[in-house]
Amino acid sequence: MKQKAYAAAGVDIDLGNRVKSSLPKMLASTHRPEVLGKVGGFGGLFALNPRRYRQPVLVSSVDGVGTKLKIAFAMDRHDTIGQDLVNHCVNDIAVLGAEALFFLDYIGTGRLEPRVFADIIKGFAKACAQNNCALIGGETAQMPGFYQAGEYDVSGTIVGVVEKSRMLDGRDVRPGDAVLGIASSGLHTNGYSLARKIFFEKLKLKPSSRVAELGNTLGDELLKVHVSYGPLVQALLREFNTPGKARGVKALAHITGGGFVDNIPRVLPPNCDAIVRKGSWDVLPIFRLIAERGGVPEPELYQVFNMGIGMTVIVPAPLVEKALAAIKRHRHKAWLIGLIVKGKGRACVK
């Protein structure tokens, strides 16, 4: 059979249709009863149940995974990238107290590779199922000549909901409150451009290099999945933020690009500063390696990387031990890492 003109130009619509035919089966695990219609329509349909809320506020976010993709390309491993993207987006709306409802993805590539496509989608589906978040649609674009061979880009949009009266915005934060830190799994999805420069250019390592300090290959360490804190946050809010009572969880910050210095101030009132104490948590080996061999000034480390803390929680001082115990019951490591003081809405690491 003669090849179609569009396929000869690099865009194989028939291949795309065959690959996408497996989507309904892969996405079945992410189904929620509010989802209407079927995968593949012009728009995803989600019927929010208004009876569950007095004043529902929809919360949305969009993101990508940055140059962590370069590690996936080098390792030819694509099953974790989808999880990274979903979990990052879940965390971004979780800090407002929002429950994730549904997610949509975008994949752009030069040539559609069925195996790679399937692995990425499986990652999306796995993370969505773990976060009780429906994967209701997406877009796959074949753009020959736009991407280098074997490369692609991904982005995602998430929508969640929170009761307006229970939304977290930091207004309750006061001097004397405590800052708790919840452990990350590694770099998560930020700082990879600098990390790649240090490891691959300065130290001349390869993704396949086994690094004694890590007990792992460098590539496997850098592909560790971004932790989702969404289910944990919802559990903490149920336990500590009972309607009609003073809030136990006052504010949350997702420690992503910008580290502590740029992210914690996003949830501080203008008359408060956050002081984060170095040495108050277990810094992961990957960050110790970057600090010891990267030649990066220490203040910049805490602005570029999460340094082993993926999310911070601000609670009243009397609740510190109870909150730490609750976090650990949900199988996350956590520490008291700082204090809220009078200030001008800034965060510093000392």
- Counted residue by residue, the chain has a size of 350
Best CA proximity match to 20, nearest among 86, 112, 102, 123: 112
Residue that finishes a domain, picked among 166, 187, 221: 166
d(CA 68, CA 316) in angstroms, rounded, equals 36
Indicate the residue among 166, 199, 215 that finishes a domain. Answer: 166
User: Do residues 340 and 281 touch, judged by C-beta distance below 8 A?
Assistant: no
pLDDT at 243: 85
Evaluate if residue 334 carries a pLDDT over 60.
yes
The structural domain count of the chain equals 2
In the sheet with 334-342, reading across from the earlier edge strand, the strands are 251-254, 309-315, 178-183, 334-342, 272-276, 347-349
Q: List, for residues 6-25, the tens digit of each pLDDT value.
A: 555 555 556 556 656 566 66
173 lies in a domain?
no
Q: Model confidence at 50, in pLDDT bands (50, 70, 90)?
A: confident
Residue 172 covered by a domain: no
Distance CA(81)–CA(71), nearest Å, equals 10
pTM recorded for the entire structure: 0.92
Q: Which structural domain, as residue segments, surrounds residue 20?
A: 5-166
Three-class SS of 126-161? HHHHHCCCEEEEEEEEECCCCCCCCCEEEEEEEEEE
Contacts of 99 (CB under 8 A, 6+ apart): 132, 160, 161, 162, 230, 234
Region 102-109: mean pLDDT is 94
Same domain, 128 and 277: no
pLDDT at residue 122 tops 60:
yes
Decide if pLDDT at 217 tops 80. Answer: yes
Give 19's strand partners: none
Residue at which a domain ends, from 140, 166, 192: 166
Partnered with residue 153 across adjacent β-strands are 108
Extract the tokens encoding 275: 């002081």
Q: Tokens for 251?
A: 């504010």
Considering the chain, what is the average pLDDT of its residues?
Answer: 91
Instruction: Give the whole-angstrom CA distance, residue 174 versus residue 202.
Output: 44
My answer on whether 83 and 187 are in the same domain is no
Q: Which of 23-37, 132-146, 253-267 has the lowest mean pLDDT?
A: 23-37
Q: Does residue 30 lie within any of the structural domains?
A: yes
Cβ contact 338:182 at 8 Å: no
Residues 6+ away with beta carbon under 8 Å from 33: none
Q: What is the CATH number of the domain that holds 74?
A: 3.30.1330.10
- Residue 314 contacts residue 336 (beta carbons within 8 Å): no
d(CA 216, CA 275): 33
Q: What is the mean pLDDT of residues 205-217?
A: 93
Same domain? For 154 and 13 the reply is yes
Q: Mind listing the pLDDT tens digit for each residue in 51-100?
A: 899 999 999 999 999 999 999 999 999 999 999 999 999 999 999 999 99
pLDDT of amino acid 145: 87
Reduce the DSSP state of residue 321 to 3 states and report it.
helix
Please report the pLDDT score of residue 20 as a whole number.
Answer: 60
